[in-house]
Amino acid sequence: MALFDLLGRRWAMGVLWTLCLHGPSTFRELQHLCETISPAVLNQRLKELQEARFVQKTPRGYAPTDLGERVQQQLVPLREIAQLWARTLDKEKNLAATDARRSAAGA
């Protein structure tokens, strides 16, 4: 699906999410809010999100469209699942590290 192709690109969801949370932002503000995004990637994602009608350029900066806001709202449950998944993986990693330390101490 074209939607998943677009949103699966590096930083696409992050840019949309940031605009939905922080409101209209200039390119520099958005780059600062996204922290590690490069200017080239940000520029490309903004173009793609505008072509998809998820983001628009306004006098105050880039802003999500109504459609972009709706897409972001559909992603909220995925965020909750992603956080649960990350906690599960962390627990498993911590258990494995504890087991490795116990094995090394007993060796």
Domains and CATH numbers, the chain: 2-106 (1.10.10.10)
Say what the pTM is. Answer: 0.75
**Residue 107 confidence (pLDDT) above 80:** no
Interval 48-95: pLDDT, tens: 999 999 999 999 999 999 999 999 999 888 888 888 998 999 888 888
pLDDT confidence tier of residue 100, bands split at 50, 70 and 90 = confident
3-state secondary structure of 25: strand
Q: Give strand pairing partners of 39.
A: none
**Residue 96 confidence (pLDDT) above 80:** no
Question: Percent of the chain beyond pLDDT 90?
Answer: 64
Enumerate helices (H) and strands (E) in the chain, giving the number of each.
5, 2
Amino acid 59: pLDDT: 96
**If you search the block for the tokens 């409101």, which residue do you land on?**
23
